[in-house]
Structure 1
């Protein structure tokens, strides 16, 4: 075989291995619809009541505002990395590294919390998993499985991702369709919990409820991270981001409406609200079906994050050498094997020592830390003549400014413990950055 033939064959192989729009869309669905929407509606209802449906709509609007910022920037860049690439270009090495390092830590936190949620749901079928030894062993085995799946590149991960996305959407569709016949308007009265009104805590309750439901959306910011592995990323990623957020918003709204309609005030004390609601509608088989759907859904999020999170560390290492080069080293399947291994070692440590509810709160806090510099980067880079014009958000600077204000408002709703742990990640990133700089990496 001639050299030219080999080169053409290699180029065709790379092209065929790239992810098209449908797979990008399903990857986004998989990266967002996970444990949050199945486990957290009860927490939102307990804070605000039937007004949970309004909270979902407000959260959807704010997430769309933030996602539009990512969409505009994604249309200007094709490199792996997303938020850290945007911040690096707009504000320099240090800010770019802090955002990238924090995004990597955020991804590891979400991976850990979703695996913990998966095992918690699985314990409903296998109570023996409540034993600490079996729980920890199962968590480690899941990590090993994910390393193997991702080691061999895009093809297997893409197949499992598409299968998971389609399966979860079918289960959710069934729940909503059946739920239409069980609507009970009386369960939406009172719309806001009386104690929220009487205690004059509406502002605080809204912030707390938004902070909870935002976890159900946190995965969207990871969609552009694998840009270099996608077909026509400057066109497909912005379109996929907007499509995914709108699709998830409709799904979440309908799930919460049906759950409130069927369970009423019992929603606040239900540990698996969607499963309990379907059980009340159709019997025990409905509960089992939703739990299975929940496992598929969480598994899809885990799979999506296991694919994208190591790419952050690899991107930091290979593009601009912000981490040691060996971290970005790739195997023959073009996967960052060292970043993959380090990611899951850290994930395993969190799984053996972390708490699910604490981890999801920390994940939301870390997400907003990432959103602020991304929105600021839109304002800085919009008129950069060295970048493609791409997609431009209508309304001038209003959308990125609204994204910044919303992020700062929601950051203020977290307790001191989350704030301290969240800021500790920034301090850790600064230490790693200056250590690497001292070694000559910058």
Structure 2
């Protein structure tokens, strides 16, 4: 496919892209995840991890094929737009941005709230706003200066957040009791399905790491490799963390929903262990934000580049730094507004469902692109024909079926409103 990202430089290799994906996936959730999963399945939780790892791998294989065929910056939006046209691209792009903005705002507030537990001064409104400006403004400035600096920070954060987790995994086994890991009975299919639904959201993020498609070196080879490396790495880390937490705390694990890993470290290493994992959680949240400000503004850039939204300035590339600087600044400003007001609880529900819709549209895009674009021997193609895309679509429909009636109605209304906006934009462009 023709390359449309004039001015952007391809500087991201396999390791950089893998670190980018891992950094996005391993967010704040992993520091609370073990207690939530243990409360549902106990020692048999490991089965849910394996099951969910298989499911997310199927979806990410669809992303790998779509990413090897369509390697312009924009990630899932670009795949959908290329496969189905402007309307689907507009809907997909908006869903990606909305989901990302509210998730980033939530993590920003979670980061401040966590600091406030030790330093109550952060509870003051003016200081919270100042902190948001420093964090989001600083990350925006760093990514405007250059992709190399932005991806460098992502690599640093990825290493920094993984160090305390790896310490807990490698040294925490000294406090593990094998009795706590004994599986007494297999979980029911219903319990496995409900638990895997939670884990599915914990694995989200690989699609965000692929948004920098227009800046990846040899994407046809490096995209599928990076996905494989990152998903396997995250799956292994998650399983080991669950095993250590379950083995150390046993039946008490579900009682520590706020900070199960910190409590595990406290029991094994004492107060210093608690501080280490507490710091790890802060680093993880900051790393998530750094990855988001690196990746998500490029969806805004891509929507403007393709004239899906009639705001040409959003696709401007900085003449010196070769980055979509207007989109980066606008995205950071919107994130600050949402985080500062905090009035996003109801929309966050729609945002979580929107990502499942994105996954479904990308899986459909794989099928469409196989017939729309000329085959290229150097492109990655999922083995097994259409089996994996169809399986992915079926799994996503299953997850969506678990949304509440109000959530389904809210999502339908949101889609209706977006359709009206798209029609209005189309009418203005025709005039």
Q: Give the distance between the partners of 1:122 and 1:359, measured in 2 at CA.
A: 25
Query: Which residue of 1 is the match for residue 77 of structure 2?
Result: 84
CA contact (8 A) 2:8 2:322 kept: no
Is 1:288 the counterpart of 2:281? The answer is no
Structure 2, unmatched stretches of 5+, are: 1-5
Q: Say whether the 8 Å CA contact 1:31–1:305 is kept in structure 2.
A: yes
1:264 matched to 2:250:
yes
- Normalising to structure 1: TM-score of the pair? 0.88
Residue 440 of structure 1, CA deviation: 0.5
Cα 1:355/1:322, change in 2 over 3 Å: closer
For the 8 Å contact 2:86–2:308, the answer to whether it is kept is no
Equivalences for 1:37-52 in 2 at 5 Å? Answer: 37-52=30-45
Contact map agreement 2:99 2:348 (CA 8 A) in 1: no
RMSD: 2.6
Matched ranges for 1:55-66 at <5 A: 55-66=48-59
Does structure 2 retain, via aligned residues, the 8 Å contact 1:378–1:400? yes
- Rounded Cα–Cα distance in structure 2 between residues aligned with 1:35 and 1:54: 22
Provide the rounded CA distance (Å) in 1 between the counterparts of 2:264 and 2:304: 47
Aligned pair 1:400/2:386, yes or no? no
Task: Provide the rounded CA distance (Å) in 2 between the counterparts of 1:387 and 1:315.
Answer: 24
Cα deviation, 1:64-112, whole Å, max 9, x if unaligned, reads 1100000011111220112122222222221121111111112212222
Judged with a 3 Å threshold, the aligned counterparts in structure 2 of structure 1 residues 144 and 161 are, in CA distance, closer, same or farther, namely same
Match of 1:7 in 2: none
The answer to whether structure 1 residue 216 and structure 2 residue 185 are counterparts is no
Residues 180, 35 of structure 1: alpha-carbon distance in 2 compared, 3 angstrom cutoff: same
CA distance in 2, matches of 1:212, 1:204: 13
Partner of 2:286: 299
| Residue 110 (str. 1) matches residue 98 (str. 2) | no
Deviations 1:142-174 (A, max 9, x none): 222222222212122122111111122222211
What is the alpha-carbon distance in structure 2 between the residues aligned to residue 289 and residue 410 of structure 1?
Answer: 35
Give the C-alpha shift of residue 309 in structure 1.
0.5
**How do residues 238-387 of structure 1 correspond to structure 2 at under 5 angstroms?**
238-270=224-256, 271-332=258-319, 333-354=321-342, 362-387=350-375
C-alpha distance in 2 between matches for 1:114 and 1:147: 16
Cα drift, residue 320 of structure 1: 4.3
Question: 8 Å contact 2:309–2:425 — kept in the other structure?
Answer: yes
Q: Which moved more, 1:148-157 or 1:246-255?
A: 148-157
- Measured after TM superposition, the shift of residue 379 of structure 1 is 1.5
**Offset, 1:128:** 2.8
State the Cα deviation string for residues 241-283 of structure 1 (Å, max 9, x = none).
1110111000011111111111122221211111110111010
Residues 351 and 424 of structure 1, relative CA distance in 2, 3 Å threshold = farther
Whether the 8 Å CA contact 2:95–2:351 is kept in 1: the answer is no
Q: Distance in 1 between the 2:145 and 2:212 partners?
A: 16
Secondary structure at 2:92 match in 1: helix
Greater shift in the superposed pair: 362-371 or 171-180 = 362-371
Q: Once the 2 structures are TM-superposed, how far is the Cα of residue 131 of structure 1 from its aligned partner?
A: 4.1
Q: Which residue of 1 aligns with 2:144?
A: 151
Q: Give the CA deviation at 1:368.
A: 0.8
Partner of 1:27: 20
Q: Which runs of 5+ in 1 are unaligned?
A: 1-10
Distance 1:409 1:354, change over 3 A: farther
Given the two structures, how large is their TM-score scaled by the length of structure 2?
0.90
Counterpart Cα distance in 1 of 2:32 and 2:409: 25
Question: Please, which of 157, 160, 164 is the counterpart of residue 167 of structure 1?
Answer: 160
Aligned to 2:376: 388
- How many corresponding residue pairs? 423
Alignment pair present for 1:413 and 2:386: no
Partner of 2:211: 225
Structure 2: distance between partners of 1:122 and 1:356: 21
The separation in 2 between residues aligned to 1:431 and 1:280, in whole angstroms, is: 56
C-alpha contact (below 8 Å) 1:112/1:348 kept by paired residues: yes
Secondary structure at 1:231's aligned position in 2? coil
Per-residue CA deviation, residues 293-313 of structure 1 (Å, 9 max, x unaligned), is: 121222111111111111001
Distance apart, 1:420 and its partner CA: 4.2
* SS of residue matched to 1:440: helix
Q: Output the CA distance in 2 between the equivalents of 1:366 and 1:47.
A: 25
Query: In structure 2, how many angstroms separate the alpha carbons of the residues matched to 1:249 and 1:315?
Result: 31
- Cα distance in 2 for residues equivalent to 1:51 and 1:417: 32
